[in-house]
Amino acid sequence: MFKHRQNKSMFFILVLVVCILGIRISSAEEKRDMGGWEEGSAYNQLYDPKEMEKFKAIAMGFKKIVPLPGMSPGVALLVRESEDEVITVHLGPRWYVDPNSIQIKKGEKIKIKGVWAEIDGEDVFIASKVKKGDYYEYKVRLTKNGKPFWTISPEELAREKASK
């Protein structure tokens, strides 16, 4: 009987430790340093959903960016709208956007939706969505309010992806 009670106690302690560790891990993830990409940051305040525009372009490739001093690196898509103009399209932070998983290749025709912003005297386009053809779409922000996908809850992100 004593051994049975001891096993129950050990089991209870183990469950308690796992719960405490789970709470600490999830709160650490919630407090993750977004490196200047967080909602409400100076960078994200440049995105005004009321100024939404879209254009067609040809993909030229990806490049690493640091939009504002002190921010963690991000990923941009370089596109050509006309023969003499290459546009830098900001997609998001490097820790969220993986260029290797984006199904867009150099030379492909794409449609981009987002807003224009001026950073360091240069016009850039901050994307909410990049489409290729009728079936491929890469979204990084909510269209209705511009909220970045990297700042929303996993549940909200799953709902957004399911609504395609």
Of 3-12, 42-51, 110-119, the poorest mean pLDDT is in 3-12
The pTM of the whole model exceeds 0.95: no
Tell me the percentage of the chain whose pLDDT exceeds 90. 66
Does residue 88 sit within a domain?
Answer: yes
Please give the residue range of the domain that contains residue 56: 44-162
Contact 109, 56 (CB under 8 A): yes
Average confidence (pLDDT) over 148-160: 89
Taking 90 as the threshold, does the pLDDT of residue 24 lie above it?
no
Give yes or no for a contact between 56 and 81, defined as CB atoms under 8 angstroms apart: yes
Contacts of 154 (CB under 8 A, 6+ apart): none
What's the pLDDT band for 22 if we cut at 50, 70, 90?
Answer: very low
pLDDT digits 0-9 by tens, 68-118: 999 999 999 999 998 888 999 999 999 999 999 999 999 999 999 999 999
- Neighbouring CB atoms inside 10 A of 131's CB total 18
Identify whether 52 is part of a domain. Answer: yes
Q: What is the per-residue pLDDT for 31?
A: 45
* Distance of alpha carbon 9 from alpha carbon 15, whole angstroms: 10
Percent of the chain predicted with pLDDT > 70: 80
C-alpha angle 61/126/70, rounded to 5°? 90
Question: Is the pLDDT confidence value at 152 over 80?
Answer: yes
Q: How many domains does the chain have?
A: 1
CA gap 119, 33 in Å, rounded: 22
Higher pLDDT among residues 163 and 18, named by residue: 163
Query: Which domain CATH number covers 81?
Result: 2.40.50.140
Residue 153 in any domain: the answer is yes
In this structure, is residue 67 part of a structural domain?
A: yes
Provide the pLDDT for residue 163.
Answer: 76
Does a structural domain hold residue 14? no
